[in-house]
Amino acid sequence: MSTALRRVPTLLAAGVLAVALTGAPTGTSATAEGSDQSSPLAQRPAPPKTPVAVGRGGAVSSVDPYASQIGLDVLADGGNAVDAAVATAAALGVTEPFSAGIGGGGYFVYYDAKSGRVRTIDGRETAPAGIEQDAFIDPATGEPYPFTPDLVTSGVSVGVPGTPATWDEALDRWGKLSLRKALAPAARLAQRGFVVDETFNLQTSENEQRFRTFTPTIDLYLEDGVPEVGSTFRNPDLARTYRLLGERGTDWLYRGGLAEEIAATVQEPPVSGETDLPAPPGSMTPRDLKRYRALLQRPTRLSYEGYDVFGMAPSSSGGTTVGESLNILEQAGVHHMEEPDALHHYLEATALAFADRGAYVGDPAYVDVPTRALLDDDFAAERSCEIDPDTAATKPVPAGDVTSYDGECDATDDEGRTDPDTENLSTTHLTTADRWGNVVAYTLTIEQTGGSGIVVPGRGFLLNNELTDFSTEYDEADPNRIQPGKRPRSSMSPTIVLRDGRPFLALGSPGGSTIITTVLQVLLNRLDLGMRLPAAVAAPRASQRNTASVTAEQAFIDAWGATLEEYGHTFTVAGPPGSSASQIGAVAAIEIRPRGRMIAAAEPVRRGGGAAYVVRPR
């Protein structure tokens, strides 16, 4: 990307976005041809969606050009990768509000160049203390609420948000900016507005029924109908919330007035009466918010073909499941295979790893998660014995035995089971790197596209529906059963790869449980199949999560379906053409090359295309 091209969004962020609007109604959307003709931003193009950037001095990659530009400006002004990550995340809360925001949670993986260590923050949402085992059961029928749209569109689905605590913890430990300064660019963006793209329009349209269930959500997103592509969307309530959060600190959200507002909204969802969705209330109290803590913890770590791969430990299942899959693939010798055999083994390995995920992984504060065993090479060797190099196994495959393994191939007659997939396809991811060698991979979410559908009145942000990531029906043997204070199991997989002790690659993706397979497939493409990073990100995707059929993008079926059907794989298209579900994941990645050269890569097509920028383009 040329310097001249990069200057266009820089001017938008530093100049136009600095102008404050006054008296704008909540959630306004106006076309350039309509009443907003005098708006400078409405008459300018959005920052460019550049899927690849190469250069030095720092890099940012995300799904959104406004957010990536804000992160880039932070780096250019002397901020580090952590500062840029928080600023980018806050901007995504403006332009990608149906995927992330301060009403949600996430996982933050950080490489510290000074110490050479990787650390992580678990900012996953938690269940309130008052949640019941039968919280997802409709008392009128004695059966679970229909998952979507009924259960997800509710107060009972809302977990205690972890994103603000994550930002505060990351900045306090590793950042250079205060929370107020990190949030300021996003506050200006929310005040001034952004140009609505096809993705924002589509996601609003797909969730219109859910959004019409709640009055403040109608006011913010549907006041004049679904925002049109090319119109300017503003959120002055969120701008004000960001400014207050920066001034008052996160205690305002966890211990002050905003905590009371969030709890009241969860307990009494502000229903409009325009739909017949039941919107069952939740039990969250201000005390639940006061008790919340973002957890600093060690990452998962494994060696793979000369690389050290770091991921997120439980409560996320990302690090263990990506890691176990890689170990199985290494044991099988995938690095030396031709692409059809490698893809066959990739699909088989993920089925095995997902079987173990379902059997063993949950919140380690409540469940004894055998993380060490799941990432043990001997366990992987034994699991790889289950892969027939010529024939796909009948799915679901059974879980392995983490209590007894020796790396030898033993026959098993156990029957497998497919765990219900309660994770939806939203979420977002960003990756940042700075001139000093620090790197961040950060995945954050409000779960379902649009979360619970509930906007906190007057505050401009949606609440999550993360509690639906728990198993819907309580089972004492289920590691992901509902329990008060517990973090639901996640698939978020922010990942940092080191080579010779230095960062080589950082990546992650949205996509519910397909996050795991998306991250793994990009790693396979880049580390084993020899693709350059942009090609590894753009390649068609398939996801085998221990189900009878492989979920795949149509482009993958077109390219590999016939070949892999010869192994016995069957395929189901991910979603109807043109829908959000038709695409798997939306990767944001950065590769760090010798002498500080960086390759930032985002999606060229998926989710409307992402934005990858570098401080000093080559």
How is 29-72 classified by DSSP, letter by letter? Answer: EE-TTTTTTT-TGGGSPPPP--SEEEEEEEEEEES-HHHHHHHH
73 pLDDT above the threshold of 80: yes
pLDDT of residue 459: 98
User: Using one digit for the tens of pLDDT, what is the confidence trace for 30-39?
Assistant: 433 333 333 4
Q: What is the CATH number of domain 315-386?
A: 1.10.246.130
Segment 233-241 shows an average pLDDT of 98
pLDDT of residue 505: 98
SS3 call for 589:
strand
- Listed in order, the ranges of the chain carrying CATH 3.60.20.40 are 52-298+428-616
Beta strands in 50-147, from DSSP E residues, in sequence order:
52-62, 105-112, 117-123
Q: Is 490 annotated among the ligand-binding residues?
A: yes
Segment 452-480 shows an average pLDDT of 97
Helices marked H in 488-577:
514-523, 533-538, 554-556, 562-565
What distances in angstroms separate CA 474 from CA 131, 133, 151, 593, one per listed residue? 12, 6, 15, 48
Confidence of residue 580 (pLDDT cuts 50, 70, 90): confident
Asked if residue 166 lies in contact with residue 121, where contact means CB atoms within 8 angstroms, the answer is: yes
Segment 145-172 shows an average pLDDT of 97
Number of neighbouring beta carbons within 10 Å of residue 470: 26
Share of the chain above pLDDT 70, in %: 90
Pairing between strand 542-543 and 428-434? unpaired
pLDDT of residue 46: 81
Q: Is 384 annotated among the ligand-binding residues?
A: no
Distance CA 254, CA 162 (A): 10
Query: Which residues are marked as active site?
Result: 427
Number of neighbouring beta carbons within 10 Å of residue 218: 18
User: Using one digit for the tens of pLDDT, what is the confidence trace for 428-444?
Assistant: 999 999 999 999 999 99
Please tell me what DSSP assigns to residue 498. E
Confidence of residue 41 (pLDDT cuts 50, 70, 90): very low
pLDDT of residue 16: 29
My answer on whether omega of the bond before 286 falls inside 30° of 0, hence cis, is no
Distance CA 111, CA 107 (A): 14
387 pLDDT above the threshold of 50: yes
pLDDT of residue 43: 33
pLDDT of residue 420: 60
417 pLDDT above the threshold of 60: no
Who wins on pLDDT, 420 or 125?
125
345 pLDDT above the threshold of 80: yes
Specify the DSSP element, H or E, that contains 254: helix 251-254
pLDDT of residue 58: 98
- Reading phi first (left if > 0) and then psi (alpha if -120 to 50, else beta), residue 191 is in alpha
Confidence of residue 276 (pLDDT cuts 50, 70, 90): very high
Asked if residue 99 lies in contact with residue 430, where contact means CB atoms within 8 angstroms, the answer is: no
Segment 61-90 shows an average pLDDT of 98
Cβ neighbourhood burial of 437 (10 Å; 0-12, 13-18, 19+): middle
What distances in angstroms separate CA 232 from CA 32, 35, 446, 453, one per listed residue? 8, 11, 23, 21
Q: Is 469 annotated among the ligand-binding residues?
A: yes
Confidence of residue 407 (pLDDT cuts 50, 70, 90): confident
Rg (CA), the chain: 23
Q: What percent of the chain is helix, strand and coil (3-state, nearest 5)?
A: 35, 15, 45
pLDDT of residue 442: 98
pLDDT of residue 21: 28
Pairing between strand 194-195 and 232-233? antiparallel
358 pLDDT above the threshold of 50: yes
Number of neighbouring beta carbons within 10 Å of residue 79: 23
What token pair was written down for 269?
């969802």
Provide the sign of the torsion angle of the four alpha carbons 243, 246, 249, 255, taken in this order: positive
Number of neighbouring beta carbons within 10 Å of residue 593: 12
Pairing between strand 550-552 and 571-573? parallel
Confidence of residue 579 (pLDDT cuts 50, 70, 90): confident
- Listed in order, the ranges of the chain carrying CATH 1.10.246.130 are 315-386
pLDDT of residue 243: 98
Q: Is 376 annotated among the ligand-binding residues?
A: no
Terminal C-alpha separation, the chain: 8
pLDDT of residue 199: 93
Who wins on pLDDT, 150 or 14?
150
Q: What is the CATH number of domain 52-298+428-616?
A: 3.60.20.40
17 pLDDT above the threshold of 50: no
356 pLDDT above the threshold of 90: yes
Segment 283-294 shows an average pLDDT of 98
User: Using one digit for the tens of pLDDT, what is the confidence trace for 182-233?
Assistant: 999 999 999 999 999 999 999 999 999 999 999 999 999 999 999 999 999 9
8 pLDDT above the threshold of 60: no
User: Using one digit for the tens of pLDDT, what is the confidence trace for 518-542?
Assistant: 999 999 999 999 999 999 999 999 9
Q: Is 255 annotated among the ligand-binding residues?
A: no
458 pLDDT above the threshold of 80: yes
Tokens 């509000």 locate to 97
SS3 call for 246:
helix
What is the widest separation between alpha-carbon atoms in the chain?
Answer: 73
Asked if residue 106 lies in contact with residue 161, where contact means CB atoms within 8 angstroms, the answer is: no
Confidence of residue 45 (pLDDT cuts 50, 70, 90): low
pLDDT of residue 415: 61
Asked if residue 108 lies in contact with residue 85, where contact means CB atoms within 8 angstroms, the answer is: yes
Confidence of residue 342 (pLDDT cuts 50, 70, 90): very high
Question: What average pLDDT does the chain have?
Answer: 92
Segment 394-419 shows an average pLDDT of 81
Segment 119-148 shows an average pLDDT of 96
